[in-house]
Amino acid sequence: MTGSLTVAVLAGGRSSEHDVSLSSGAAVREGLGEAGHTVVAVEIGRDGVWRREGQPLSVTPAGGLLGVDVVFPVLHGPFGEDGTVQGLLEMLDVAYVGAGVAASALCLDKVLFKELMSALGVPQVDYVGVRAGRFRHARAQVLGEIAALGLPVFVKPAHLGSSTGIVKVAAAEELADALEQAFAHDGLVIVEAMAYGVEVECGVLGALGAEHDGGEEAHASEPGEIVFEGEFYDFGAKYAPGGMELKVPARVSPLAREEVRRLAVRAFLAAGCDGLARVDFFVDGERVLVNELNTMPGFTPTSVYAKLLAASGVAYPQLLDRLCRLALERHEERRAYSY
């Protein structure tokens, strides 16, 4: 499909990243307008209700969504970036931007994603996954496994983004309380060893028509370095004006730069992602460790993904247009299969 598109932008959602999603959605709507597309805004409330111009919205399986050409689900965290909304959009039979059901669910689960990377031999931060039930029934064993990581460690809810609920633990006696705090957010928690070096992020963008023209399936951006003042890259550093500085290109060696880009594409393809992703790394000299992959990175004024692509020659309106075209291309390809 060429020419102007009608795009529904989904924003908000039930997760703790509701406000971040609203900010991302506003930026996406503006950029799509600059690209010449017609935008339909759909807000998902904290109560989970979908609304169009303040009125509840009903949908019908196989009925599309408001007659639009493509949906841009700018949703972060559970109930939006975890495959649930993607599954609904599949049932509506409408094209949508970003990863599908399986990849969305996989990548939002920090433990499952790391287990996949481990099976592939991808270097990453050492970690232990802990379920609430197991911790309460085998507390000493779990604490022993975590002790092998050394101190300090970072305790994180496994399915939240934007650094929500993360606690840095520097003393063994603080660990149990940190786990209980994380279990208030999620029944699955990941505990990660301290990683040294600089934090580097790399954007990945799918390639139009790659399966047909023999080209690359995805391209990695110029890596960027995250510079911040605090102990770690927390919510405030990510979203407060001036909370962090993005340096592009990252101040790493040429060898490390190429390894970041290679591993970003490898993780993207291995997880079965589509359209876009941001892959986060720790780089210490020539040592490159994958941290996590975000299937719908932020699009707020301070967010990194669009800045990385802009530094790599893809302007913001062009980026959004390309993501919509990729969504349409994937939708048409899947319709051609016999089920």
3-state SS string for 23-54: HHHHHHHHHHHHCCCEEEEEEECCCCCEEECC
Residues 308 and 207 in one domain: yes
Q: Is residue 329 part of a domain?
A: yes
**pLDDT tens profile 174-213:** 999 999 999 999 999 999 999 999 999 999 999 877 655 5
Q: Which domain holds residue 234?
A: 105-122+196-335
Task: Please give the pLDDT value at position 16.
Answer: 87
Tokens standing for residue 36:
């010449």
Contact indicator for 265, 220 with CB cutoff of 8 Å: yes
Q: Which is nearest to 193 in space by CA: 167, 164, 154, 232?
A: 154
Residues 171 and 205 in one domain: no
Residues 148 and 288 in one domain: no
Q: For the chain, what is the domain count?
A: 3
Which residue, of 145, 167, 193, is where some domain finishes?
193
pLDDT < 70 stretches in the chain: 1, 161-164, 210-215, 230-243
Task: Please give the pLDDT value at position 127.
Answer: 97
| Distances, alpha carbon 292 to alpha carbons 77, 89, 94, 188, 297, in Å | 14, 25, 28, 16, 12
Q: Is residue 250 part of a domain?
A: yes
Catalytic residues: 17, 162, 239, 278, 280, 292, 294, 298
Q: Is residue 272 part of a domain?
A: yes
Residues 211 and 272 in one domain: yes
Q: What is the CATH number of the domain that holds 307?
A: 3.30.470.20
Residues 44 and 113 in one domain: no
| Distances, alpha carbon 254 to alpha carbons 82, 168, 223, 250, 261, in Å | 35, 31, 11, 10, 11
- Written as one string, the DSSP assignment of 129-189 is EEEHHHHHHSHHHHHHHHHTT-SSEEEEETT--TTTT-EEE-SGGGHHHHHHHHHTT-SEE
Q: Is residue 167 part of a domain?
A: yes
Residues 243 and 285 in one domain: yes
Residues 131 and 180 in one domain: yes
Please give the DSSP secondary-structure letter assigned to residue 88: H
Q: Is residue 258 part of a domain?
A: yes
CA distance 279 to 281: 7
pTM: 0.92
Task: Please give the pLDDT value at position 97.
Answer: 98
List, in sequence order, every residue forming a beta bridge with 131; answer none if it has no partner: 188
Residues 65 and 30 in one domain: yes
Residues 185 and 161 in one domain: yes
Which residue, of 143, 174, 193, is where some domain finishes?
193
Q: What is the CATH number of the domain that holds 188?
A: 3.30.1490.20
Residues 116 and 140 in one domain: no
Q: Is residue 1 part of a domain?
A: no
Task: Please give the pLDDT value at position 142.
Answer: 97
Q: Is residue 146 part of a domain?
A: yes
Q: What is the CATH number of the domain that holds 75?
A: 3.40.50.20
Q: Is residue 56 part of a domain?
A: yes
Residues 49 and 153 in one domain: no
Which residue, of 193, 228, 251, is where some domain finishes?
193
Residues 299 and 264 in one domain: yes
